[in-house]
Amino acid sequence: MTSIKTWAVDKYQALQDHRQRLRYQPVDIPEKPSQQANGDYSPAAISLLAKARALQECVIRQSAWDRREVAEFIRGAVNCVLFSTDFTIAQQLLDRAEATYLQGMQAKNRVAYVLYAAIGGFATFGLSLSLWWILQLQVQHWPISMQLKLPNFDTTFKILGLATLGNLASTSMRMAGIDLKLERNKSSIFLLAITKGVLAISFSIIIFIILSHGIVSIGSAPSNHDNSVLLAAAFLCGFSERFASDILEKIPGVSSDTPISK
């Protein structure tokens, strides 16, 4: 029993030490540098200290992943400004600090983007299925002339599910090319990711209606009512909005000067 208690205490202490190492310790940055021999302040030194304070404020507010490494670069730059007349090294250290900070923010925001895209995709999938279920119950009470012929649950589930998977596959493949290092507002990342999921589901539904009614055709497919064609189209609608916009442009009277593309 004693050994288990000792092990638990050691693990807790190790966790506390790890959290302490990750906690950002602000660098003490003076408002003004040391005075020069003539009693004036160096404009270059003032500029560098201002840049260091601004960068440190960004690191603290955004909780950057590499904040400890950034703090060391900032501390070195401030020391160079205060105890040296050559500010070249100080500028280089601040550039390294900024690059490290932006690299950490890029990785952090990309992870958040993929997470939000997954949450938004599955949430939209669930809401769409709920809407189908509500319509299925309500349409029975409508006049015969207004009743809609909705697809069965199995088809609806496959169409919406493949559109969601296509969206997630596209997000994963293009994650390395998404530039989010300058994005400081998590709400913007959330809305961007959620919008992609909504577009994927919306396009898959519209394209399903268009193909199932034979309004347009895809390539040399013998019948647009074939389930394999409809399922493949649903996945492609989630994977690329360009595919959906190209099909919409085939409809007579519909054109777009700025087609949507991923």
Same domain, yes or no: 25 and 99: yes
pTM, 2 dp:
0.69
pLDDT at position 25: 67
pLDDT at position 38: 46
| Cα distance between residue 45 and residue 47, in whole Å | 5
pLDDT at position 250: 78
Enclosing domain of residue 135 = 107-249
pLDDT at position 261: 43
Instruction: Report whether 230 contacts 152 (CB < 8 A).
Output: no
User: How many domains does one find in the chain?
Assistant: 2
Q: Is residue 236 part of a domain?
A: yes
Same domain, yes or no: 27 and 111: no
Per-residue pLDDT of the chain (262 residues; tens, 9 = 90+): 567 667 666 665 666 555 545 555 677 787 776 655 445 567 888 888 888 888 888 887 776 667 788 888 888 888 888 888 778 899 999 999 999 888 888 888 888 888 888 888 888 888 888 888 887 777 666 555 445 566 778 888 888 898 999 988 888 888 878 888 888 888 888 888 888 888 888 888 888 888 877 777 776 555 555 677 888 888 988 888 888 888 888 776 655 554 444 4
Q: Is residue 255 part of a domain?
A: no
Q: Is residue 137 part of a domain?
A: yes
pLDDT at position 42: 78
pLDDT at position 262: 45
Same domain, yes or no: 19 and 79: yes
pLDDT at position 93: 92
Number of Cβ within 10 Å of residue 149's Cβ equals 6
The DSSP annotation for 164-226 comes to HHHHHHHHHHHGGG---TT---HHHHHHHHHHHHHHHHHHHHHHHHHHHTTSS--TT-S-TT-
Same domain, yes or no: 100 and 183: no
Same domain, yes or no: 176 and 58: no
> Rounded to 5 degrees, what angle do the CA atoms 173, 102, 186 make?
70
